[in-house]
Amino acid sequence: MTRGSILVLLFILVLFAFGLWVLLPMDSEKLGRHGLVLGLDLRGGSHLVYQADLSLKDPSQSDDDVMEGVLSKIERRVNAYGVTEPIIQRQGHDRILVQLPGVKNVDEAIKLIGQTALLDFREMELDASGRLVFDEEGKPKWVAIAKATGSDGVEKELTGKYLKPNATVVLNPQTNEPEVAFEWTDEGAVLFEQITQRNLRKPLGIYLDGEPISWPTVQAVIKERGVITGLNIEEARMLAIQLNSGALDVPLKIIQEQRVDATLGADSLRKSLIAGIIGAALVVLFMVSYYRVPGVVASCALIVYVVLLLTIFKLVPVTLTLPGIAAFIVSLGMAVDANVLIFERMKEELRSGRTLAAAMEAGFKRAWPAIRDSNITTFIACLILYWFGGTLGAFMVRGFALVLFIGVALSMFSAIVVTRSFLRLAVRAVSSPAAYGV
């Protein structure tokens, strides 16, 4: 073997050792925690698709700017909620896909993500003599949105856009009830000071998306800080997240909702692992029985291929869905199809009278155009599947396409580099043509 061949072989062994170090220990119980990233269909959770009403956007903003802003705010809400490995993607012109692994309370997730969360403050309506105005049901009427004069002398509405993104849930030391503590920006403090001053010892309505959530009585003039009361602990937590993420620029409507049971995912994962083991064993059995020494070489290369592919899945990381596992199992068979072309070419060269080493090199050289062209067509199919899966919201199709693309790309490296290096060793050790199926 040449010096270059030895270096390539050492490089493969180092990659293989690194892959084992990354993957081990790993079992089916740890796949979702310390190993591979499991998709929604295997781990369970919520799959939601929202549609934005762009007809209500600010005319000065473009559709793309509004959608990017909504996407960013949803990401902040989901991350603050504590969901691990969420998937939040824009689909088409006005849709957003949200996948929340491990979240089973879909109603709570819908409320957290889809609520516009526009906070405003309202004063009680007074008549000309300064008395409260009541509606037909005997309830006090509220002014649309409280206004005050800003630092620039312009009258402005007091809304949540003047809040700093640092709202927190606190417990009232006297009642032990949860409250949401918030802080105004400099401009918001100017407005809030005027509003609380003229509403001393009067209720001040706090509204979220047009619905009243609290109407505390103003006990003192407040400037920079305030609290929102009348909430339970979970409502307070969700409100704090929404206030910190900011109000959505346009309303969202849920158009698709799917709940996935983790039990189904665990059973599918177990059966898929069994299918993968059986499939790999059958491939190895066929290769060894039909091609003999080259079959053993291909089987060793297949082991390296599996380890490197799983290493890529873990390090990137690639979210593994059930169709993705199917693509992985398919790629096991495809990983040796290039070897089949090479070995058949190699046998033809041996029958024509070439030496074993020359036949091996010629087999790789002549098989390469067919391997290259067949894999390019598979790449094109994977790219089309991935694009359509993203456009139509079929996340399982995208998972299949991504895993198959990576698997086919790595199979080219496995066939041309790994198998070739191992076969060069085998040719030096076993020189009988009969051991190569001739």
The pLDDT of residue 30: 47
Residue given tokens 């190895």 in the structure block: 284
CA distance 33 to 336: 31
CA distance 126 to 121: 16
Number of domains in the chain: 3
**Residue 284 near residue 302, CB atoms below 8 Å:** yes
Render pLDDT for 298-331 as a digit per residue (tens, 0 to 9).
Answer: 999 999 999 999 899 888 878 777 788 888 888 8
Render pLDDT for 278-306 as a digit per residue (tens, 0 to 9).
Answer: 888 888 898 888 888 999 999 999 999 99
| pLDDT tops 90 at residue 84 | no
- As a whole-number percent, the residues of the chain with pLDDT over 70 amount to 93
| Tokens of residue 335, six digits | 């990983």
Render pLDDT for 112-159 as a digit per residue (tens, 0 to 9).
Answer: 787 777 888 888 887 777 677 877 777 778 877 888 898 888 999 888
Neighbour tally for 125: CB within 10 Å? 15
CATH number of the domain residue 205 falls in: 3.30.1360.200
| pLDDT tops 70 at residue 393 | no
| Tokens of residue 416, six digits | 């041309």
The pLDDT of residue 240: 87
Query: Residue 168: which pLDDT band, with cuts at 50, 70 and 90?
Result: very high
The pLDDT of residue 34: 44
Query: Residue 90: which pLDDT band, with cuts at 50, 70 and 90?
Result: confident
CA distance 261 to 270: 15
CATH number of the domain residue 332 falls in: 1.20.1640.10
Helices 106-114 and 233-245: angle between axes, nearest 10 degrees? 40
Looking at the structure, do residues 87 and 50 belong to the same domain, yes or no? yes
Tell me, yes or no, whether 156 lies in a domain. Answer: yes
- Our separate counts of H helices and E strands in the chain read 12, 14
Tell me, yes or no, whether 371 lies in a domain. Answer: yes
Looking at the structure, do residues 214 and 328 belong to the same domain, yes or no? no
Give the number of residues written for the chain: 438
Averaged pLDDT for residues 20-45? 66
The pLDDT of residue 183: 92
**Residue 297 near residue 245, CB atoms below 8 Å:** no
Helix (H, G, I), strand (E, B) or coil at 124: strand
Query: In the beta sheet, which residues pair with residue 212?
Result: 207
User: What residues make up the domain containing 128?
Assistant: 119-232
The pLDDT of residue 25: 65
Cα radius of gyration (the chain): 32
Among 269, 258, 329, 276, smallest CA distance to 42 is for 269
Among 95, 118, 115, 119, smallest CA distance to 107 is for 115
CA atoms within 13 A on the CB side of 413: 15
What mean pLDDT, rounded, does the chain reach? Answer: 83
Looking at the structure, do residues 338 and 412 belong to the same domain, yes or no? yes
Torsion of CA 108, 109, 110, 111, to 10 degrees: 50
Query: Residue 29: which pLDDT band, with cuts at 50, 70 and 90?
Result: very low
Q: Where are the alpha helices (DSSP H) in 199-245?
A: 233-245
The pLDDT of residue 113: 83
- At a CB cut-off of 8 Å and minimum separation 6, what does 184 contact? 162, 163, 164, 191, 192, 223, 224, 225, 226
Tell me, yes or no, whether 419 lies in a domain. Answer: yes
| pLDDT tops 60 at residue 26 | no
Looking at the structure, do residues 7 and 32 belong to the same domain, yes or no? yes
Looking at the structure, do residues 224 and 166 belong to the same domain, yes or no? yes
| pLDDT tops 50 at residue 31 | no
Q: How does DSSP classify residue 141? A: P
CATH number of the domain residue 81 falls in: 3.30.70.3400
**Lowest-pLDDT range of 2-16, 175-189, 251-265, 319-333:** 251-265
Query: Residue 190: which pLDDT band, with cuts at 50, 70 and 90?
Result: very high
Query: H or E segment at 123?
Result: strand 119-123
Tell me, yes or no, whether 239 lies in a domain. Answer: no
The pLDDT of residue 405: 93
Tell me, yes or no, whether 278 lies in a domain. Answer: yes
Query: In the beta sheet, which residues pair with residue 333?
Result: none
> What are the b/e assignments for 281-296, b being 16+ CB within 10 Å?
eebbebbbeebbbbbb
Instruction: Answer with the residue of higher pLDDT: 262 or 159.
Output: 159
Instruction: Answer with the residue of higher pLDDT: 162 or 44.
Output: 162
Tell me, yes or no, whether 238 lies in a domain. Answer: no
Looking at the structure, do residues 403 and 384 belong to the same domain, yes or no? yes
Averaged pLDDT for residues 380-400? 80
| pLDDT tops 60 at residue 28 | no
